[in-house]
Copies of this chain bind each other. A is one copy, B any other.
Amino acid sequence: MLMKCPVFLLLDRSAAPSAAQKTDAMLLLRRCHGLTRFGRPSILRRHLGPAVLSHAARLSSTHDNKSDWHFSGFSWRHGLAGLLAGAGAVVAFGLQQHKAEQPAAAAQTTESISTLPVFSQEEVSKHRSLSDGVWVTYRGGVYDITEFVAMHPGGEKILLAAGGALEPFWALYAVHNQEHVLEILSEYKVGELCGEDLKKQEPTESSDPYSSDPERHPVLRINSQKPFNAEPPPEILTDSFITPSAVFFKRNHLPVPQVDPASYQLQVEGLPGGGVTFSLEDLKTRFPKHDVTATVQCAGNRRSEMDRVKQVKGLSWGISAISNAKWSGAKLRDVLLAAGYGPDVAQWARHVHFEGLDKDVTGAAYGASIPLNKAVSEEGDVLLAYEMNGEKIPPDHGFPVRVVVPGVVGARSVKWVGKIVVSAEESTSHWQQNDYKGFSPGTDWDTVDYKSAPAIQELPVQSAITSPADGALIDSSDGSVTVKGYAWSGGGREVVRVDVSLDGGQTWQVAQLRSSDEGQVPKAPPTPGRAWAWKLWELTAPLPPQVQELEIICKAVDSSYNVQPETFPPIWNLRGVLNNAWHRVTVKITEG
């Protein structure tokens, strides 16, 4: 059997290697191995086969000592780093053209070995770690990929699929949809999944109100199943500037409603002349279509960190209840103007309410409101969106139409919006009046007065470290550490700087900020007050000498020069919202 460095997948196969090329190939393979930094070291137990040597030889014969290694216009170091970044791989190297699944190749692979043992899903599920072995299933086959983990270009992200099916992950990361990947996989095949369990992998049905909830990507970390609330693992969150819809955090308050787009009607009320309704077709054809790239963040993002100070009430979100998408639709302003909004209404109206089509058992809908000036301002950029990342909005995100209120807490971007009401008063919804508000650390459940605090609208400046993970091991032989993360602020305030400390806040270095994916042309800077999208950031810095451990911290500064507070206790609040203290991870330095 052959152990392959997956980087070779990118190479053509041809030409027999020379002896010198074989030596080079060995070095390259080791380097490749060393670069799989998330994986724990594993030992090369198998021999290098001729195919690997052939690829590596081609690689070494074209490399350029003066800079990065290049072949066919591809930069080895950049490319590999891209692959290592996981979801980023989707867009790397133009591989996205290989999007279609390749059942033929898969079938071929499966057919070629047919006398292996049959395993139950239960048995497969027991193999979820390097110590228990890492097993996965794919199209009815069972694969023991334990030894491949350390070589996976996406690092330990592969463990997210451990004990279950690969399909949902490969659907997300289209780089896998290649013949070479299937060839590699076939070499790890240890058995077949029993027919019954294979059938179970198909969607379940029942009469529960959540039975119509859509299937979700298994990579999501579920905080609550019903209603469904889940976030992507931090290590994939910042793989791309635009978060793929499948892994965009999900925050549902109620079951996902089934909405027929053909009969969908949006009611607009509170304006002179009575109510007006718009069909989906109306929204698409009667109003200009606007694209707005906007980050949405849950008020409870990073609640788990505040919870460690003193218990709070709410879903235990990590750092990934935030995501960034391109939303497209009609401007709310345009729709309100078409429905009768004008200067007369501006005299008395102060708020715009949104009601979702998602309802609780009493028939009450999810609801929220935003200030009128945000709703009607040309620069407010509030959308009635019918597309997310260039496709119709997925059910979990509000199909067929949702509100997107850029710069504002996610709770106001009402999904499955069915009704809009222009009003002199705020929404009376529970979520507007008795939730999503901030209080003093001294306020407890005995003293809280929800009327004393304003409903959260714009969010404060935020940032977090997505890599390395807390507790990660950093190989000191690299001599440097790369820290990555996101930063965002509410109210359209652009993040202007992210400071990173490797010594618990004693000294600070300034990170590089990005407003697009690596290699893409950066967009023009946004108009002041309309910076709706997050910034991704990165800092590579020398490892301080002689340290065994680093406390890495990030803190962002926005265009109003607001900053994040240092610690959680002074911003602690009983609902665990607005968790924007400095994010800290501690990593250990190991000798490589």
Contacts and interface: CB of A to CB of B under 8 A. Distances in A.
Contact of A528 (B371, B527, B563): B371
A200 B509 CA distance: 56
B438 A557 contact: yes
Interface string A427-460: 0000000000010111100000000111011111
The prevalent SS among residues of A at the interface is: loop
A496 interface: yes
Given A490-B560, A559-B454, A442 B499 contact: yes
9 tightest Cβ-Cβ pairs between the two chains A and B: A458-B560, A460-B562, A562-B562, A371-B528, A442-B508, A566-B566, A460-B561, A561-B578, A440-B499
Give the number of times this chain occurs in the complex, counting copies: 2
A565 interface: yes
A560 B454 contact: no
11 contacts: A440-B499, A441-B507, A442-B499, A443-B510, A454-B559, A456-B561, A457-B560, A460-B563, A491-B560, A499-B570, A564-B565
A567 B566 contact: yes
Quick one: which of A442, A560, A564 has the most chain B CB within 10 A?
A: A560
A529 interface: yes
A251 interface: no
A560 B440 contact: no
A491 B529 CA distance: 10
Contact of A565 (B454, B458, B493, B565): B565
A374 interface: yes
Given A505-B570, A570-B508, A457 B563 contact: no
A518 B567 CA distance: 35
A373 interface: yes
Interface in A490-530: 490-491, 493, 496-497, 499, 505, 507-510, 527-529
Contacts of A565: 563-566
A574 interface: no
A490 B561 CA distance: 10
A442 B507 contact: yes
Contacts of A510: 440, 442-443, 452
Contacts of A508: 440-442, 570
A37 interface: no
Interface in A543-573: 555, 557, 559-567, 570-571
Given A440-B510, A442-B507, 12 more contacts: A438-B497, A438-B561, A440-B509, A441-B507, A453-B497, A457-B559, A458-B493, A490-B560, A491-B493, A560-B562, A563-B570, A566-B566
Contacts of A496: 453-454
Nearest to A447: B510
A383 to B, nearest CB: 19
A246 interface: no
Contacts of A493: 458, 491
Contacts of A123: none
Contacts of A371: 527-529
Contacts of A183: none
A457 B528 contact: yes
Given A566-B566, A566-B570, A460 B528 contact: no
A332 to B, nearest CB: 16
Contacts of A29: none
A522 B444 CA distance: 28
A197 interface: no
A379 interface: yes
Contacts of A385: none
A528 B372 CA distance: 9
A461 interface: yes
Nearest to A566: B566
A373 B527 contact: yes
A270 B157 CA distance: 56
A456 B461 CA distance: 16
Given A374-B528, A528-B374, A529-B373, A440 B562 contact: no
Given A379-B373, A499-B440, A510-B440, A461 B562 contact: yes
Contact of A560 (B460, B499, B528, B567): B460
Contacts of A560: 457-460, 490-491, 562
Contact of A440 (B461, B497, B571): B497
Quick one: which of A371, A373, A566, A570 has the most chain B CB within 10 A?
A: A570
A425 to B, nearest CB: 13
A491 B407 CA distance: 14
B570 A555 contact: yes
Nearest to A507: B442
B570 A459 contact: no
